[in-house]
Amino acid sequence: MNPTIYDIAREARVSIATVSRVFNNHTCVTRKTREKVLDVANQLGYHPRALAQSLARKKTRIITVIVPVISNYFFMEVLAGMQDKIAEYDYDLQIFNVKLADNILNQADYIMKRGWGEGYVVISVHLADSEWQTLKKYNVPVVLIDEYYPGFDTISVDSIEGAYTATRYLLQTGYRNIGMICAKADSKPVMDRVLGYRRALEDFGIKVIAEQIVTGDDMERDGFTENNGYQAMTKLLACEPCVDACFCASDIQALGAIKAMRDANKNIPIIGFDDLEFSEYVGLSTMRQPMYDMGSLAIEKMVRRIENRESEVKHTVFSPDLVVRTLAPDYDLLAVRKEESGTFNSR
């Protein structure tokens, strides 16, 4: 991420206001301080562009990203798209990591009330409409990714369609007793994926068995973890009647599910959701989300909203693509890939 005036202030041990005065050529800054600030800016590779001038107009030219977890592939791909796109505009990007275990509404409220950004991109934070309405009081541009609220611009993937497509593919391939591994029950992506899974079974005239929609006990990161997938598959393999295939709410859970099958010396077809980098290496069939494109579009929407507050609110919904590799991922490749790269994290 490009350095900001906050980085310069910290390294030069001066206030942000002093940095602003330097770049605006105020006469009240001593020569020694001016040279120090400019030297630090040069070392950090900082290019002020219009940022310093905008501070004088009480505009930060900063877009703030609020994200629950940044140490996972989904968020990193989204952020990569944002970083590349923001280079085309006269804005900087800063990231705030909120804790899922704490009150997310309070955390988001704390960030926004301090005016640390001209606009806020919120990734995979799921709140009730009444809670989003609470944040609307700040009257600042907000773009939501992986969530929907009618009052803000939003970007999402059609999880219902994705789950339906994956489950229908398994049905068309000949499987009839298909289980599902989900995550936190009130997570919007999970609710939608369960709905799509159920619709596909019903359209094929197959009874939905509630006991075959399972999740693990590990609810870290809303259950989107390898461990949750491992626990869920262990439960699924013990179900009666036995499942003959599985749709999984995320690739990272599918990875844990594959390990559970290996440990149980069983192997049933599985389709994940995301198309994370490792999926190709282990031959995992999955529903591909355009993560990079979602991040890039978020910046476009945000800049448009900042520059035209009265523009129409728009909701963009991407259709996920089915990527068929194999319905029985390679255990050996899984072991090698994990040994090379360590534990994978997802959303």
From the candidate CATH numbers 3.40.190.80, 1.10.260.40, 3.40.50.720, 3.40.50.2300, the one assigned to the domain spanning 62-156+292-318 = 3.40.50.2300
Domain with CATH 1.10.260.40 in the chain: 5-56
Domain with CATH 3.40.50.2300 in the chain: 62-156+292-318, 159-290+321-341
CATH architecture assigned to 5-56: Orthogonal Bundle (1.10)
Q: Tell me the C-alpha distance between 192 and 212, whole Å.
A: 17
pLDDT for residue 251:
95
The pLDDT of 64-72, averaged and rounded, is: 79
pLDDT for residue 71:
59
| Least reliable range by pLDDT among 1-15, 165-179, 228-242 | 1-15
Q: State yes or no: pLDDT of 223 exceeds 60.
A: yes
Q: State yes or no: pLDDT of 150 exceeds 60.
A: yes
pLDDT for residue 205:
97
- The domain over range 159-290+321-341 is classified in CATH as 3.40.50.2300: yes
Q: State yes or no: pLDDT of 179 exceeds 70.
A: yes
Q: Which residue has the higher pLDDT, 76 or 343?
A: 76
For the segment 94-124, what is each residue's pLDDT rounded down to a tens digit?
Answer: 888 888 767 888 998 888 887 778 999 999 8
pLDDT confidence tier of residue 263, bands split at 50, 70 and 90: very high
Q: Residue 246 contacts by C-beta under 8 Å, 6 or more apart in sequence?
A: 178, 179, 180, 181, 233, 236, 257, 268, 269, 270, 271
pLDDT for residue 208:
96
Buried b (16+ CB within 10 A) or exposed e, 258-286: bbbbeeeeeebbbbbbbbbebbebbebbb
**φ, ψ dihedrals at 101, nearest 5°:** -70, -20
What is the rounded average pLDDT for all residues in the chain? 86
